[in-house]
């Protein structure tokens, strides 16, 4: 059974947007950055375990969940600046940063740009550049949904009214989905229902070339 804990939700202004942020516990900061098709509630099952020793900070990323649905800024550099501003607004001088899927690129870029701010870095379920030993993952090209999501206006138009089965497919296709409680699954579906919610979600994919270049530039400096 997941361990739950008391948390509170805050609206935090950072980098020109308002983020919805779940906060629990006290101690050194741990910043949790979710991916697609998630919200901060992805982490609800582990926040209790962490909050006994850490101050756990789990935002809805820009455009996701209850955070502001910004027109732009879905590249890794802007999302990293969102995270940096969030830590500053909460008075945290450093944090262990965990990123999954869409949260991976901004987590990595934050660590590259501000190494003194990131005590530890944990990333998962994403590839950044050409990693030795991982070439086979994209040997046949990127997964089909990368191209589908990347075309401006297409995916949100096609999926309008069918968000629930689409989100369910992503959840059920991965190992994560089999462990998602019904109430969290419903929260994910709700968060991605509607044209604006979908536009924001797919803007991450549309910014991937920019994000890749930002990471490459950060590595080179």
Q: Considering the entire predicted model, what is its pTM? A: 0.92
Q: When comparing pLDDT for 17 and 130, which is higher?
A: 17
pLDDT interval class at 132 (50, 70, 90)? very low
Find the mean pLDDT for residues 155-171.
Answer: 96
pLDDT at 4 over 90: no
Whole-angstrom distance, CA of residue 145 vs CA of residue 152: 13
For domain 8-220, give its CATH number from 1.20.1300.10, 3.30.930.10, 3.40.1440.10, 3.40.50.1820.
3.40.50.1820
pLDDT at 15 over 80: yes
Q: Which pair of structure tokens corresponds to residue 177?
A: 């989905």
pLDDT at 134 over 50: no
Best CA proximity match to 31, nearest among 108, 101, 105, 86: 86
**Domain boundaries in the chain?**
8-220
pLDDT at 180 over 90: no
The pLDDT value recorded for residue 176 is 57
């Amino acid at each position: 059974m997941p361990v739950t804990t008391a948390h509170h939700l805050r609206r935090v202004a950072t980098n020109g947007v308002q983020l919805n942020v779940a906060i629990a516990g006290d101690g050194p900061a741990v910043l949790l950055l979710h991916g697609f098709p998630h919200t901060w509630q992805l982490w609800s099952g582990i926040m209790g375990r962490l909050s006994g020793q850490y101050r756990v900070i789990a935002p809805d990323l820009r455009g996701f969940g209850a955070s502001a649905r910004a027109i732009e800024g879905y590249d890794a550099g802007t999302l990293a600046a969102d995270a940096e501003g969030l830590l500053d607004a909460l008075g945290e001088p450093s944090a262990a940063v965990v990123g999954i899927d869409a949260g991976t690129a901004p987590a990595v870029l934050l660590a590259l740009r501000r190494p003194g701010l990131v005590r530890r870095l944990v990333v998962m379920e994403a590839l950044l550049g050409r990693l030795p030993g991982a070439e086979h993952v994209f040997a046949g090209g990127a997964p089909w949904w990368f191209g589908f999501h990347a075309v401006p206006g297409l995916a949100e138009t096609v999926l309008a009214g069918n968000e629930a089965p689409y989100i369910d497919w992503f959840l059920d296709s991965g190992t994560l989905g089999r462990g998602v409680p019904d109430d969290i699954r419903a929260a994910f579906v709700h968060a991605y229902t509607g044209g604006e919610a979908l536009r924001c979600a797919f803007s991450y994919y549309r910014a991937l070339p920019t994000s890749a270049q930002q990471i490459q530039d950060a590595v080179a400096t």
